[in-house]
Chain A
Amino acid sequence: MEKKETLHRRDFLVRSLKVGAAVGVTGFLGWRFHDPEGPPGAQQEEDEVSLPDFSVPGMDRRLAVVRGEDRAATLELALHALGGMSAFVKEGDRVLVKVNAAFASPPILSATTHPALVERLVQLCFKAGAGEVIVTDNPINDPQSCFVLSGIEEAARRAGGRVIYPRSDLFQPTTLPGGRLIRSWPLLYGPFHGVNKLIGVAPVKDHHRSGASMIMKNWYGLLGGRRNVFHQDVHTIITELAMMVKPTLAILDGTTTMMTNGPTGGSLADLKATHTLIAGTDQVSVDAFGATLLDKTVLDLPFIHMAESAGVGTSRYETLNPTHLQVS
């Protein structure tokens, strides 16, 4: 009988301890995680990133215009006129090539950067000593369809380049200092890790909303999110993109120009053989010259003037004494 009493007491003590501990833990958890304020209304901001200046320090503004049909040949000649690829890409550089792969359409329709141009460009980067060449874009159509159908993926791989798809985890927000539109907006930043040279390479295309899609408009493909809202102020967004992206080199392919139905095209009837390749360090002058292939003037394209006013470059390309060459 006595024994049972003892057991009962011990059992009670043990249970009391357990209950005490449970009460303590519950109370502590309640106190520890109590939030009297409720969540803040504004969303938490992610770490912002910004693109560095990729232009070659101290280099003057250069522009070369080469006539010819063979993109590989015109590219080589243009680069030669600009001082050779080695003036831009040094031993061990990591180069990012921003192509225009916006649409899932074959190369013959010229809605995307031509694979022959991509291949030769990547080859030339490696020839100049590049350690790695990355090819990327955030297309409008399905990315895989775009890179495969445009022939860009195969061309880049053949030349040894690495194609990076715009996976959602590669985007980080960026803000353009002084910008009105690019504020905490997702940027395709992942592929830029370790990159120190940037080459923009795009075709000359008609573009209904902005008038033309060339080098500056092509940076649109670095934006993520519902970027289409920027069409409400398309000239400003192009200007801000040009302010944000300072490339090493801009290569504008006017071998075939999409004169109508842009920027998608879709028919050979939309194209015109213009046999011109423009390369330079000043994207505004490159686009200003490109406009002439579309039978447009600088006045027809407000973003050119706006970018010029913002100090991105000059629309008076003739002041740069461009080298005019012809592939024989």
Chain B
Amino acid sequence: MAIVTVRRISQVFFFLLFVWFSFVSTAGEEWWELRGWPANWFLQLDPLVALVTFLATFTFYAGLLWALLTILLTLVLGRFFCGWVCPFGTLQHFMGYWSGRFETLGHLQQKNRYHPYQVIKYYLLVFLLSMALGVALQKIIQAGLWTALLLYGGIALCLLLLFRETWLGEKKSKAIASVFFLAGASGLLAAFLQGGHRILASSVQTGLLDPIPLMHRSLNLFLFPVLGEPFRRGVVEPRLYEGAWVIGLIFVAVLLLCLKIPRFYCRFICPLGALMGILGKWALYRVGKTRVNCRDCSVCEAHCEGACEPMGAIRQHECVLCMNCLDDCHHGVMGYGTSRSLGGERDAPDISRRGLVLTVAAGVVSIPSMRLSGLLASNRDPHLVRPPGALREEEFLQRCIKCGQCMRICPTNIIHPGDFSHGVESLWTPVLNFRVGTSGCQLNCVACGHICPTAAIRPISLEEKLGEGRFADVGPVRMGMAFVDLGRCLPWTMDLPCIVCQENCPVSPKAIVVHEVFRPIRDPVHRVHSVMENDFIVVTLERLALQPARLATGDYYVRWVGEEARWRIQRNTEREIELVPQARGHISTQEGNEIEILVRLHLPQVDPHRCIGCGVCEHECPVTGKRAIRVTAENESREKRHSMILHGS
């Protein structure tokens, strides 16, 4: 079997596996639902996810250790992941292949020629990784000026020793100078930041461009909802996701671009590909010329997926191991083995040192700059309600890779990709929206935290969520708190009985309490003509004043003006009111007396000690546009400083 056939089988296999894992990522107990499928396996294999969360948190969370496998294999084999495994690569590969089927070799060679802009992806990688460096830098600076100098100096010395071949050459002085420069500059930097280091921060933004989260996001939030899953049990409404069209647009645009430029994303943008390229620098096995009898016919460059120019000095960091050149070469020149290419090699991408330093600096300062709006401080957005178990905002942003897995698993479709209104960094991170979906956050559900690949949403137990057992002292996990908008609430403002919110509150005892009040209705006072007492009490008014049956709903009462007792109305005509007798109170039968008609209302109030911000009330509120009860992030458990009340009081 030709090696390209093996590669194609591998691509199709991993692509289908990826789609399958995405498909099964819904809560349920069937074999085609998430019951033990390693739905995050591709995200865990993705070394960029592991690396960036490591830079920001100094830990590898759970399954992210799988990335070591990818790294080790890449160190040995080169960028096999890009050409053989990556589902986004496979899709692009297919698009490029499709458009190139009938094109001439000359045209194909044109399309698959190396383009200097392919270096962009390395800068993107460095920029995105630098955004996560803040906390590490902070720690170094906090260790003190002299420690920082020592550390930087030590690093510089190590570099010097590593490249000691320059020690004796004429570059000797240059090297020493650069070491001192490095140490000095670091010292200065440290000194400069002595007071300002607190603004340094880490944020994980690789998910914006990392192809594996991008694929998950595109499938979860765009493709599956658009294609629909009508055959899926329990899906009663098509899934909605705020701003999903942007995610879909990017996905489709990239794929269409591949018709013009094969593997457009892989070549120019993909930060994961860039990381693999750098890792593959030292790969033991590599593609290249194995014989000297090359006729320079350039056929090998016609179908080159990585645009790595195998005919000349091959760019190893761009080679995605598609093996097309091996297949195309009619002279048996191209091979894959341990020896370096006889045509020469270019190991490193064309990044300039100056550009690199500038990119790192830009990445490091970008996050503090983005936070100048104060969205992580006093100017926080109260509508930023995160799923239960989400970490403190700063820690959350150090982990979330915007993959959208929580949004797909959520059984009620309330987790949505955030937009810029919660801050630039929050783009496509999970934000709760209780107006969309089938209910609020279900009391007995902790699915989102258990699928989250990076623990941006912690995998909390049901016990912890409900604040039971050993969590009884801490209390339940609060996502926020509901507030009644008195100006929109039907009973509060419009004298209409309602209390749907109170009824649907899933907390026990309920977090919404009601106050019973009796308020006079519009034009409440009427003069009585006569009163008759049989099984029921019938009050006849002097005038035809009532709308028949309007007061017969069980919510209306009669009170004789000047008296205390209220009598519930059971039936009414234009002139007669039938009252339910009651044990206490006696009827004033005097004619000419005045009665007042009251409506009994239950006014909802939120108990801040009990409300967990699940949003069921907001979802059910009959004021369907802007709800009369709404959840904001007040009191959320994840940020102590958002606490609104004295707990335990």
Contact = CB atoms under 8 A, between A and B. Distances in A.
Given A209-B497, A236-B553, A264-B508, 20 more contacts: A105-B444, A141-B439, A141-B506, A142-B412, A143-B234, A144-B234, A145-B411, A145-B439, A180-B549, A209-B503, A226-B624, A228-B620, A228-B622, A229-B622, A231-B498, A232-B622, A236-B552, A263-B503, A267-B509, A302-B553
B38 interface: no
B439 A142 contact: yes
18 contacts: A104-B439, A140-B620, A142-B411, A142-B412, A142-B442, A145-B442, A145-B444, A167-B235, A207-B503, A208-B502, A209-B502, A231-B499, A232-B498, A233-B553, A235-B554, A267-B509, A270-B508, A306-B552
B500 interface: yes
A145 B441 CA distance: 11
Contact of B236 (A143, A270, A305, A306): A143
B284 interface: no
B503 A264 contact: yes
A105 B443 contact: yes
A113 to B, nearest CB: 17
Interface residues of A, number: 46
Contact of A141 (B503, B510, B616): B616
Given A145-B412, A266-B508, A232 B443 contact: no
Given A144-B233, A263-B503, A269 B602 contact: no
A299 interface: yes
Interface in B189-244: 233-237
Given A106-B444, A165-B233, A228-B621, A302 B506 contact: no
Interface of A: 103-106, 140-145, 147-149, 165-168, 180, 207-209, 226, 228-229, 231-236, 260-267, 269-270, 299, 302-303, 305-306, 309
B438 A142 contact: yes
Contacts of A228: 498, 500, 620-622
A231 B500 contact: yes
B233 A226 contact: no
Contact of A266 (B496, B507, B580): B507
Contacts of B504: 140, 264
A149 B502 CA distance: 22
A270 B509 CA distance: 8
A142 B503 CA distance: 16
B296 interface: no
A143 to B, nearest CB: 5
Contacts of A235: 553-555
A261 B509 contact: yes
Nearest to A302: B554
A156 B411 CA distance: 21
B28 interface: yes
Contact of B438 (A143, A229, A236, A302): A143
Contacts of B580: 299
B441 to A, nearest CB: 10
Contacts of B622: 226, 228-229, 231-232
Contacts of A166: 236
Given A141-B439, A235-B553, A167 B236 contact: yes
Contact of B514 (A104, A208, A265): A208
